[in-house]
Structure 1
Amino acid sequence: MTYATQEVMEGHDHFRAAMVALSYPGRRIPVEDASRTHRNRTGRQILRALYDDETPVTTVAADGTTTGATPEEARVLVVNGSTSHGVLSRIPRGTEEYPERGATVIYLVAGLPDAAHLHLTGPGVDGDLEVRLPLALDDVMARNAACREKPTGVDLLLAGDGWVTGLPRTTSVQQVD
């Protein structure tokens, strides 16, 4: 298999994993990475599979600095770590007429501990589900605020090394005490 063919096949695998993750919230969906030499490669591959080079992307570094598009213009927010440092509250949520204009947030969380203990309900969740995810509780609250007025909101993808988990805007997320 040529390098180009391998890249295309990996793109398909990462696209499918992201879609499955959003269809089954809270579950870790495995995705094969041919090269595990780069930390957070899964998240970068998902970004490449879902969006083209003209998509406005804002990146939040671990220290909270942002690069790329302004958060208010971003269609994608890439977060290096488990917290967006408040940037999540500034990204588009869509409108009632155009809910698909809500941004997607991709957290690059390879190697981070599962800090948030959450209770999920909604479409794609069989009854209810308790999960632990590498996500800051401030971001859980900001996500819930962004998704409060249906059908608007934001979709979250958490990408570790070789796995992805989705929290679509339709999922109810509550902190477990």
Structure 2
Amino acid sequence: MEAVTIEGGFPDPVFDAQATFRAVMDAMARPGTVARGVHLPRPPAPLMPEAGAVALALCDADTPMWIDPLLREDKAVAGWLGFQTGAPLVREPADAHFAFVSDPANLPAFENFAQGSQEYPDRSATLVLQVETLTSGEALRLEGPGIETFVMLSPRPLPRHFVEQWAQNRTRFPRGIDLILVCREGLAALPRTTKISKEA
């Protein structure tokens, strides 16, 4: 087994995983808020440290994982995720509880991922998108639960027809996917209840 697979986890696995879990839950409770200062592992590129932190905090042997073709190209990424989390890798997006995406612009449509059911909406997928920035892209206006009036977020890049796809995702509530956006600036969450529109 290559050293890169074994190494590069959290420096303090229990404490760092708990801190990252709390940061993600807080981000979900306050959509559009950027969480910074998360303790970071050292995964092999092109998996970002912030995405690696989310994987280590949220994924385990009971959470099937899908990684996009760009991440799948480097066997070290799959090996690191498998060793560090124990999560099984699946070939089809619909079979995953978590999806890690390094190329959001070429992401399959949201409807291809697990949507959950009316009885078990928690069986839907959470997509972790690696973006270049959360502050310098096209301005998006966020409204809904956890937001007092509105907040602005400007991630880049995003999936094709993002605002339209997200509007369709919201119509499936309580079904639908949730998003976690990560970059070197930190992480932000977009739960399925969030209304997103382009700033005029």
Q: What's 1:117 paired with?
A: 139
CA contact (8 A) 2:40 2:49 kept: no
DSSP-derived class of the 1:116 partner:
coil
DSSP-derived class of the 1:83 partner:
helix
Q: 5+ unaligned residues in a row in structure 2: which ranges?
A: 1-8, 79-88
Q: Which has the higher helix share?
A: 2
Q: CA RMSD in A?
A: 2.9
Residue by residue over 1:35-88, the C-alpha shift from the partner in whole angstroms, topping out at 9 and shown as x without a partner, is 6796611111111211203421111144998x8411111111111033343243
Say if 2:120 is the partner of 1:98: yes
Alignment of structure 1 residues 149-168 onto 2, 5 Å: 149-161=172-184, 163-168=186-191
- In the TM superposition, residue 14 of structure 1 has moved relative to its aligned partner by 0.9
Say if 2:48 is the partner of 1:26: no
- In the TM superposition, residue 144 of structure 1 has moved relative to its aligned partner by 2.8
- In the TM superposition, residue 142 of structure 1 has moved relative to its aligned partner by 2.4
DSSP-derived class of the 2:136 partner:
coil
Structure number with higher relative contact order (C-alpha < 8 Å, ≥ 6 residues apart): 1
How far apart in 2 are the matches of 1:13 and 1:169? Answer: 23
Query: Aligned partner of 2:141: which letter?
Result: H
Q: 5+ unaligned residues in a row in structure 1: which ranges?
A: none
How far apart in 2 are the matches of 1:121 and 1:115? Answer: 18
CA contact (8 A) 1:74 1:103 kept: yes
Residue by residue over 1:120-156, the C-alpha shift from the partner in whole angstroms, topping out at 9 and shown as x without a partner, is 1111111112221224252343233222122111110
Count of residues in Structure 1 that have an aligned counterpart in Structure 2: 174
2:102 to 58, 73, 80: 80
TM-score after normalising by structure 1:
0.83
Residue by residue over 1:85-110, the C-alpha shift from the partner in whole angstroms, topping out at 9 and shown as x without a partner, is 32433001111111111110001225
Q: Which has the higher strand share?
A: 1
Alpha carbons of 1:35 and 1:102: their partners in 2 closer, same or farther (altered >3 Å)?
Answer: closer
User: Which one is further off, 146-155 or 77-86?
Assistant: 77-86
Q: What's 1:6 paired with?
A: 12
CA contact (8 A) 2:115 2:123 kept: yes
TM-score after normalising by structure 2:
0.74
Alpha carbons of 1:49 and 1:34: their partners in 2 closer, same or farther (altered >3 Å)?
Answer: closer
